[in-house]
Each structure stands twice: as C-alpha cells, then as structure tokens.
C-alpha cells in the first residue's frame, strides 16, 4: 500500500452541528425553532399521546412472544450430493467432511430437497422430501427415515 495509490473515502464525513455561528450549522443546528422535533429524542412507538399500537393490541405485547420457536430446516438439494462417492451413507458429519455444509450448522435441522438430478446411488439418513426420495430410489439409492 502506497500513499499516492489510496482511493478516496466512499462516504462523506458527517458534519458536526451546533458548534457556533461561524460553521453555518450553529444555534438551532438544522432543527428549526421550538416544538417537539427541536428538542430531545422521541421514544420509538410514541404516537403523540395516543395509546400506542403495542398497548392497544395486547396479543403482540412483548418482544419475540409470537415468533415460532422452531427454526426452519436448512435445505440441501440433490445436485449438491453428486460430489459424494457412490454408495455413501449421507449424514450431517459426511456433509461436513465433503464441504457441502459448514460445521457450524451441523446441529441445525437439515432436509434433503429434490432440486437437481442425482447420478449416483446413496443411502440417506436425514429428513427428506417425497420428491427427493423418489429421485434417490430411481438412481438405486435407499432412504432410511431419520427421526
């Protein structure tokens, strides 16, 4: 890296406001005069004194209360399994070994989906869609239903 080869910064420097008349942004600092918006911060969800939406709908009160507890399964398509050797028993550990999934997602729910074509027979020991199961059995592979 050399000084004359540095590229200029992409983002502009933020202008400091409220630092005296000479700056052009002193005194009211671009906020106008008086009123709620000229003063301190307004809380998120504040509706001018009206009962806030979060209090009017008690069902949705609280954070993450109505979110589903179960995470969605991580999809793995058949076309990704073509790089495995023929006759392999497909488990999460095997998928990590062949770099199909990252080891950070081994403990997540996985599901084999039927996108793409499979050219080799495999034994699947993971949750699988009906379409993917048909394609695997068509190539001579087997499906062992994982709980």
Determine if the pTM surpasses 0.85.
Answer: no
Q: What percent of the chain has pLDDT over 70?
A: 90
Q: Are 136 and 143 in contact (CB under 8 A)?
A: yes
Query: Could you tell me the domains of the chain?
Result: 74-143 (3.100.10.10)
**Structure confidence by residue, pLDDT tens digits, 54-75:** 788 776 666 666 666 677 889 9
What residues have CB less than 8 Å from 100, skipping those under 6 apart?
Answer: 76, 80, 81, 83, 84
Any idea which residue has 């695997």 for tokens?
Answer: 136
Mean of the per-residue pLDDT values of the chain: 87
**Structure confidence by residue, pLDDT tens digits, 32-46:** 999 998 999 998 889
Q: Are 111 and 74 in contact (CB under 8 A)?
A: yes
**Closest by alpha carbon to 110, among 97, 100, 118?**
100
Write down the pLDDT at residue 140: 92
Please say if the pLDDT value at position 147 is more than 60.
Answer: no
Q: Are 141 and 112 in contact (CB under 8 A)?
A: no
């Amino acid at each position: 890296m050399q000084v004359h080869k540095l590229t200029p910064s992409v983002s502009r420097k933020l202008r400091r406001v409220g630092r005296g008349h000479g700056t052009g942004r002193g005194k009211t600092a671009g906020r106008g005069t008086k009123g709620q918006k000229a003063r301190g911060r307004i809380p998120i969800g504040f509706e001018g004194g009206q009962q806030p939406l979060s209090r009017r709908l008690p069902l949705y009160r609280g954070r993450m209360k109505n979110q589903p507890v179960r995470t969605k399964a991580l999809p793995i398509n058949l076309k990704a399994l073509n790089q495995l050797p023929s006759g392999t028993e497909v488990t999460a550990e095997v998928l990590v070994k062949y770099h199909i999934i990252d080891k950070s997602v081994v403990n997540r729910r996985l599901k084999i989906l039927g996108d793409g074509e499979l050219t080799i027979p495999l034994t699947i020991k993971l949750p699988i869609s009906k379409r993917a199961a048909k394609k695997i059995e068509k190539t001579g592979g087997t499906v062992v239903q994982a709980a």
